[in-house]
């Protein structure tokens, strides 16, 4: 007989089934052992009755502990008393491997669950989150693949910073200094001059001390880059991408959303167009609410929350002051205090999920802007390390734009998680590198 999944077994009441999985819960009552068995597809109650199985099966069921791996053959029946609605009446029971006493019991601190992350990943909650993660990766790729994008694979070890440059993890590379990439953008840019529309989906690293509920030291970064796109066209692509992910997820996996207490409708509402406001008007809105921000101030968690807590859809904030954005963004010809860029904020205060911009594509303009940034910020670019990237502006350059989406931020928002750490299996944060 071949194994069937628990969800299939639950659909075949009356028939004989062979299933395997892990023991989620176990209790004994008057010659019957009740086990809730888990596999990737779901849970089912198994009843092992002393008088209905061979002595060997009964003994195995007695010995089995929580999280033991087991296989059971039996007859499926609908049973209203079973917490799963179905019960497998065992005819035979075998342990694959008996588990040591499981270190996670019902009420545990968040710290312990992080220490035991390798085991906590078996919880219903983490299983649902990890499935969501995989689907969201898939939907994002599907969307871009169908629009003629090529997935590219950037290097992780690099000599250049793409963003602030100040949050880089440094490492030794055969005796010289290297960094873990903070963004693959510069490499994606190189590839639009051949493949035109590309994306990388890779880890980015940020040595940020900030211990917030939305910062990871290592996160997965989806970075599309498009030849001939401007900031407007890029925003249209972004809102379609985010809507596509929300729509597919809500339509196909309402069950996962339910696990997190999120209604499908929240995500089905995410349809283009999204609201688009300038930095200047966002600043004004915040100051009307009493924040007292000055032109040029960046927005923090509180500001982001205030701007989006009553929004149902994500919100774009475009044309930020040049002082607080990276060196590769072009000055806005209509207002030279700003650059041609936009950030996408998730609704309900979840914060920034996308940062994107046009790129300076002309050699002279880039050299001038890099000099300006050096003197305004009191920094010195190592021009030798950036030479290859600057070079791209010398050989048939074209206008281009791109953006970066933090996939864990998207998961946090869509599942309405309190903390970003549950959007990634093994979170790396300033205070955590294990397991």
Least Cα distance to 317 among 270, 356, 278, 272 occurs for: 278
Close Cβ partners of 295 (under 8 Å, ≥ 6 residues apart): 280, 283, 321, 337
Least distance CB 51 / ligand 4AD (angstroms): 57
Asked, as a colleague might, if the bond just before 273 is cis with ω within 30 of 0, I would say yes
| Closer residue to ligand 4AD, CB minimum distance, 318 or 403 | 403
Q: Which residues, 353 to 412, sit near ligand 4AD by CB under 6 A? A: 353-356, 402-406, 408-409
Structure tokens at 374: 């050096």
**Which CA distances in Å does 77 have to 83, 202, 309?**
13, 46, 47
Least distance CB 110 / ligand 4AD (angstroms): 18
| Closer residue to ligand 4AD, CB minimum distance, 24 or 369 | 369
| Closer residue to Mg ion, CB minimum distance, 355 or 402 | 355
Position 208 contacts ligand 4AD (CB under 6 A): yes
Least distance CB 352 / Mg ion (angstroms): 6
Binding mask 168-187 for ligand 4AD (x = CB under 6 A): ---------------x-x--
Task: Say how far apart CA 77 and CA 107 lie, in whole Å.
Answer: 32
Task: Say how far apart CA 81 and CA 87 lie, in whole Å.
Answer: 9
CA atoms within 13 A on the CB side of 352: 18
Position 299 contacts ligand 4AD (CB under 6 A): no
Beta bridge partners of 23: 37
Position 136 contacts ligand 4AD (CB under 6 A): no
Q: Sign of the C-alpha dihedral, residues 377, 157, 190, 220?
A: negative
Least distance CB 412 / ligand 4AD (angstroms): 9
DSSP state letters, 92-127: EEEEEEPPPPPS--SS--HHHHHHTHHHHTTSHHHH
Structure tokens at 85: 């609605």
Task: Say how far apart CA 316 and CA 307 lie, in whole Å.
Answer: 11
**Contacting residue, 24, 197, 215, 248, with ligand 4AD by CB under 6 A:** 215
| Closer residue to Mg ion, CB minimum distance, 151 or 208 | 208
| Closer residue to Mg ion, CB minimum distance, 189 or 352 | 352
**Contacting residue, 21, 89, 154, 162, with ligand 4AD by CB under 6 A:** 162
| Closer residue to Mg ion, CB minimum distance, 243 or 357 | 357
Least distance CB 155 / ligand 4AD (angstroms): 15
Chosen from ligand 4AD, Mg ion, none, partner binding at 353 (C-beta under 5 to 8 Å by type): ligand 4AD
Chosen from Mg ion, ligand 4AD, none, partner binding at 185 (C-beta under 5 to 8 Å by type): ligand 4AD
Binding mask 333-352 for ligand 4AD (x = CB under 6 A): -------------------x
Beta bridge partners of 35: 26, 46
CB count, 10 Å around CB of 279? 26
User: Which spans of this chain sit near Mg ion (rule: CB under 5 A)?
Assistant: 355
Task: Say how far apart CA 344 and CA 310 lie, in whole Å.
Answer: 15
Residue 1 contacts residue 15 (beta carbons within 8 Å): no
| Closer residue to ligand 4AD, CB minimum distance, 38 or 215 | 215
| Closer residue to ligand 4AD, CB minimum distance, 144 or 216 | 216
Least distance CB 299 / Mg ion (angstroms): 10
Least distance CB 317 / Mg ion (angstroms): 10
Residue 73 contacts residue 17 (beta carbons within 8 Å): yes
* Plot region of 292 (φ>0 → left; ψ -120 to 50 → alpha; else → beta): left
| Closer residue to Mg ion, CB minimum distance, 42 or 355 | 355
Q: Which DSSP category does 52 fall into?
A: G
Site residues (CB under 6 A) for ligand 4AD?
Answer: 162-163, 183, 185, 206, 208, 215-216, 219, 221, 223, 352-356, 402-406, 408-409
């Amino acid at each position: 007989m071949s194994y069937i999944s628990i969800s299939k077994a639950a659909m075949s009441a009356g028939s004989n089934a062979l299933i395997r999985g892990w023991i989620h819960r176990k209790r004994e009552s008057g010659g019957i052992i009740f086990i809730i068995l888990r596999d990737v597809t779901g849970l089912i109650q198994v009843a092992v009755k002393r008088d209905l199985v061979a002595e060997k099966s009964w003994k195995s069921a007695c010995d089995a502990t929580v999280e033991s791996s087991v296989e059971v053959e039996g007859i499926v029946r609908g049973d209203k008393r079973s917490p799963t609605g179905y019960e497998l009446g065992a005819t035979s029971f075998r342990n694959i491997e008996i588990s040591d006493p499981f270190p996670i019991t019902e009420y545990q601190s968040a710290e312990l669950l992080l220490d035991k992350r390798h085991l906590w990943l078996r919880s219903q909650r983490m299983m649902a989150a990890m499935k969501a993660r995989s689907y969201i990766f898939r939907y994002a790729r599907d969307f871009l693949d169908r629009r003629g994008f090529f997935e590219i694979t950037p290097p992780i070890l690099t000599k250049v910073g793409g963003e602030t440059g100040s949050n880089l993890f440094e490492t030794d590379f055969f005796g010289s200094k290297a960094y873990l990439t903070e963004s693959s953008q510069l490499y994606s840019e190189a590839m639009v001059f051949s493949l035109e529309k590309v994306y990388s989906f890779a880890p980015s690293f940020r040595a940020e001390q900030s211990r917030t509920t939305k910062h990871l030291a290592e996160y997965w970064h989806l970075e599309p880059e498009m030849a001939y796109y401007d900031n407007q066209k890029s925003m249209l692509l972004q809102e379609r991408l985010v809507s596509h992910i929300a729509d597919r997820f809500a339509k196909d996996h309402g069950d996962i959303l339910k696990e997190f207490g999120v209604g499908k409708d929240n995500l089905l509402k995410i349809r283009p167009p999204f609201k688009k406001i300038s930095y200047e008007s966002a600043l004004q809105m915040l100051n009307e609410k009493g924040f007292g921000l000055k032109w040029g101030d960046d927005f923090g968690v509180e500001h982001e929350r205030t701007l989006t807590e009553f929004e149902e859809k994500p919100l774009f904030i475009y044309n930020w002051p040049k002082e607080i954005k990276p060196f590769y963004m072009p000055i806005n010809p209509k207002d030279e205090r700003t650059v041609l860029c936009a950030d996408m904020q998730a609704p309900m205060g979840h914060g920034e999920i996308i940062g994107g911009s046009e790129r300076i594509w002309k050699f002279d303009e880039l050299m001038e802007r890099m000099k300006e940034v050096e003197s305004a910020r009191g920094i010195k670019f190592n021009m030798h390390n950036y030479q290859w990237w600057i070079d791209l502006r010398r050989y048939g350059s074209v206008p281009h734009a791109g953006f970066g989406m933090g996939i864990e931020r998207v998961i946090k928002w869509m599942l309405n998680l309190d903390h970003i750490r549950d959007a990634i299996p093994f979170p790396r944060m300033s205070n955590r590198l294990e397991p």
